[in-house]
Amino acid sequence: MKVAILAETAPGETRVAAIPETVKKLAALGASVAVEAGAGAQAGISDGDFTDAGATVGSRGQVLDGAELVLSFSGPEAAELGGAASGALLVGILDPFRRRDAIGAYAAAGIEALTMEWMPRITRAQSMDVLSSQSNLAGYKAVIDAAAAYGRAFPMMMTAAGTVSPARAFIMGVGVAGLQAIATARRLGAQVSATDVRSATREQIQSLGAKPIFVEGVAGIEGEGQGGYAGETSEEYRQAQAELVSTHLAKQDIVITTALIPGKPAPRLISDAQVATMRPGSVIVDLAADAGGNVEGCDPGETAVRHGVKIIGASNLARSLPADSSALYARNLFNFLSAFWDKEAGRPLFPDEDEIVKGVRLTRDGKIVSERLA
């Protein structure tokens, strides 16, 4: 089976869907891998690194010619895939809700599209979970960016010239990104607190040495929540949460917000009036910027200054760590493909009834087959 790795064309994309290690592993399964020239440049992988691993490197036309499997990050348009074999598989983060027309075009072109961000959150699929691998890096980078934008130090320092007090960091939303943000802020020496609507996160926050800040007496989301995800909370809960956050926020120097609700706009957690209570020079990083933002006044991809507080609208932060984000993503892809690889057929076979396949498959035989897109 010929596998094509394309250079990404989406604006701002820095990552690549394969690394030399996964090229070797795909070759060991019997695939031949072709990489578009320059595809790994921004992730620090040269064309020579790919050829040393056993890939061929060529132009987009050469790479796509006869390809039966195309691996990508942000999916290319169907029109860009001319030359691929009929019925070719396309695997990527295809953003189906926002790219419905593009998904329809894959179906019309006879491409079988599989989208990795719809991987079910089940134990068997953990090593294939691209949301986790990218969110983890984003949570780390949010704290690093906050530290860089903050005009003070994070750790307490007792020096001959006096004491520097530790930064107080508050993490709102304790999923994968939030947990890594807590750990990173702790490593940098900040005093860390965190909140979430899912009660199961209280223990996780404590186990990382941070202080849980939770609404008491009003039901939020019991345990892990449906499928591990938050749903919307009651008006009473939102009110209580806003009051709790108000008192706490005014004392914070660094705030990282990560709250998301699948299929809904990001919940608003911080109002402009609350930002005004913070000390000038404080920094907020809003990791939900692309989903509408947790913070009023947040602008995706930009840093806004409100009441002397910097609000960083973090957009796809994993892209700013292209070497690591590519490596983790490439391994997620390999783990997915190898789990379904059929030695005799020399390609992955995706059974209709498999829970993972049902989650990620969007199109097949000229039709959109995903239930979520029905």
Q: Least Å distance between CB 225 and ligand NAD?
A: 6
Q: d(Cα 235, Cα 223) in Å, to the nearest integer?
A: 19
User: Could you say which DSSP state residue 123 is in?
Assistant: G
Q: Least Å distance between CB 263 and ligand NAD?
A: 10
**Is 333 within 8 Å of 116 (Cβ atoms)?**
yes
Q: d(Cα 214, Cα 73) in Å, to the nearest integer?
A: 37
The residue (of 46 and 247) whose beta carbon lies closer to ligand NAD is 247
The residue (of 92 and 359) whose beta carbon lies closer to ligand NAD is 359
- Closest-CA residue to 173 (of 123, 213, 127): 213
The residue (of 111 and 197) whose beta carbon lies closer to ligand NAD is 197
Phi/psi for 140 (5° steps) reads: -65, -50
Q: Least Å distance between CB 22 and ligand NAD?
A: 20
Strands 162-164 and 157-159 come out as: antiparallel
The residue (of 267 and 293) whose beta carbon lies closer to ligand NAD is 267
Q: Is 298 exposed, middle or buried (0-12, 13-18, 19+ CB in 10 A)?
A: buried
Strands 69-74 and 89-93 come out as: parallel
Beta bridge partners of 89: 69, 112
What single string gives the DSSP state of each residue in 177-242?
HHHHHHHHHHHTT-EEEEE-SBTTHHHHHHHTT-EE----SS--B-TT-GGG---PPPHHHHHHHH
Q: Least Å distance between CB 279 and ligand NAD?
A: 22
Which tokens hold the place of 282?
């404080």
The residue (of 178 and 348) whose beta carbon lies closer to ligand NAD is 178
Q: Least Å distance between CB 128 and ligand NAD?
A: 9
Q: Residues interacting with ligand NAD, by CB under 6 A?
A: 121-123, 125-126, 129, 131-132, 135, 172-178, 195-198, 224, 228-230, 233, 258-262, 267, 269
The residue (of 58 and 292) whose beta carbon lies closer to ligand NAD is 292
Q: d(Cα 282, Cα 186) in Å, to the nearest integer?
A: 17
Q: d(Cα 111, Cα 116) in Å, to the nearest integer?
A: 16
Q: Least Å distance between CB 195 and ligand NAD?
A: 6
Q: Which residue's Cβ has the minimum distance to ligand NAD? A: 175
List active site positions. 121, 126, 129, 132, 229
